[in-house]
A and B are shown apart, each in its own frame.
Chain A
């Protein structure tokens, strides 16, 4: 039986590598997507789909309220200071980010107003941060617009807060009898002071500090490769559905299944051979993509090789299982092709392969969890971006194996060999 299984697997692997179209679909397509989309993706987050930002205002004064009000009027941002009817505190915000319900939170410190309105004459100026709490898996192109906007608002707030003191300072120093050279000195000095972001020390009074929620290891911000490699790898992995379904239907159409069934081979072994070969193709595909990402894109691979292997095995299992289901539902290869495109684009879309799920509307964020793509992507990002270890991805691996079993058993129920 093992010899038969080996023969079936080896035969399908030979057929795969002789089929240039299949090799292109499975190996080249996802790599092209990763490269092109990583370089080209931009302007993703428009005003029609505002970025939700949780705001925790601990400021004792009025300056933070002004900044928050200003931020709320900006297109593309949706400021939330309450959650389920209660004011958001920092612990709630971090929990919401850990749960994936929100991606960003701003914490204005209690001394925010004081920091901005320190006098010009103070020798040793205090500085302090506004905390920008973000999921480490949030892409740079998502975080940077928020940080940039916030930076601008802080500068504006600082300028507004300091201007009265600056004018007082100017009148204190001004004298009509002053010579021209002294006036020029004064202009230069005011220019520095009124710029708002320095206070005699050359450093900003309020800075933005980007941190991860408590419990999430703060890794380096994901670059576009780290964001796109898992997403498009999963997208590419599931194209095995097309390959497997078409292979099964071709064998059915050409009569090779029927011929094999007259031979001393159990149906279970026949199907297992078909699955094993395509499962191995999936693993080869993963290996090639990850090697390219590692060697060409210099993408770091987190801390858990075991976790990566287990997530990959489970994801490939779900993809192969879905292939059996599609082969069982379709009657012809053309039907299988159409059905595969429909299923894969839908699953990839709502599962977050193309755009992160957290920028989707809440309904789509929720139904995304019905796709293996979402679980696989989350598990890969846990490992590659969030810096988690093997045990952290076990729940996702369990769900992926559940998907694999569900697809396979549903497919087996409707499966016909001839």
Chain B
């Protein structure tokens, strides 16, 4: 049974009058790849900044590896690695110089440092370009080195913030393989992304955040099951909505119905058949459908269903 590496209880963070993380409770297990999804402003970056010891929380308790985040940040820092969204490297220097510098900051030196540099360069397949200035690299190569720097001290917990943004497909596959390899080696990874297929493919569990709170937390399949066979969003005139709501419940493929001001949320067992039946019903009742959207049973659909927003909003 895996132990929990991170325990978060009642986490709170405010910026001025604005509460950006509100009563967050979470447990992340050792060796788990944990996905954190949410639109901009959802509070996921703030949460990661707190967990990475970059900013202090305003309330709640956090322990990482058994150490208290507020009282013992310098016991936590060696345990964690951060792969930021931006290319946080020294571009005029070579990959070897960058890894050497960051390795020394982690207290590595001598033969161990040289061994780790070679290991990291091999891991991200940059050994051949180890002496070239990073500024001459492609975006994908820079991203790979960005990951290597986060791994130079072999952390127990790795934060990866949008690691595939602006990356070519080949480098993206490299990154997926690295994550899988690191997971196989027992590393715990907290992964944020806008790409649902990445979360579905890589993450053991996914939390969907909005307005500083967790809206849903489960395995990717568990979240997808929330949508059943798919979800239909439809808009009709509000005065026609009440009668339609009762009629819609008689469609066999529709599992549940909710309606606010003429906007229908229909969970189905099979979306295509359900939507055809819904259109036919509206036609029979003489109700004009103003908008119609089918959310397929995937994480993107779950996200839209739960938050009313697309990930890139």
Which residues of A approach B to under 8 Å, CB–CB? Answer: 3-4, 6-8, 10-11, 14-15, 18-19, 254-256, 258-265, 418
Contact = CB atoms under 8 A, between A and B. Distances in A.
Given A18-B92, A18-B93, A254 B77 contact: no
Interface string B28-62: 00000000000000000000000011100000000
Contacts of A14: 93, 97
Nearest to B76: A264
Contacts of B106: 263-264
A299 B223 CA distance: 79
Interface string B63-101: 000000000001001101010101111101100010011
B1 interface: no
Q: What does DSSP make chain A's interface, helix, strand, loop or mixed?
A: helix
Interface of B: 52-54, 74, 77-78, 80, 82, 84, 86-90, 92-93, 97, 100-102, 104-107, 109, 133, 149
Given A3-B107, A4-B104, A264 B92 contact: no
Nearest to A10: B101
10 contacts: A4-B107, A7-B100, A8-B101, A254-B89, A255-B88, A259-B102, A262-B53, A262-B77, A264-B78, A264-B107
Contacts of A256: 88-90
Contacts of A4: 104-105, 107
A259 B90 contact: no
Contacts of B78: 264
Contact of B92 (A6, A7, A15, A259): A15
A7 B101 contact: yes
A262 B82 contact: yes
Nearest to B93: A14
A15 B133 CA distance: 11
Contacts of B80: 262
B93 A258 contact: no
B93 A7 contact: no
Contacts of A18: 92-93, 133
B54 A418 contact: yes
Contacts of B86: 254-255
The 9 closest A-B pairs by CB, nearest first: A7-B104, A255-B88, A264-B77, A255-B86, A259-B88, A262-B82, A18-B92, A262-B52, A11-B101
B105 A258 contact: no
Given A4-B107, A11-B97, 15 more contacts: A3-B104, A4-B104, A6-B104, A7-B104, A11-B90, A11-B101, A14-B93, A18-B93, A19-B92, A254-B89, A256-B89, A259-B84, A259-B149, A260-B105, A264-B105
A260 B109 CA distance: 17
Contacts of A8: 101, 105
B47 to A, nearest CB: 14
A261 B55 CA distance: 10
A19 B92 CA distance: 8
Contacts of A263: 77, 102, 105-106
B88 A258 contact: yes
Contacts of B89: 254, 256
Nearest to B150: A259
B303 to A, nearest CB: 27
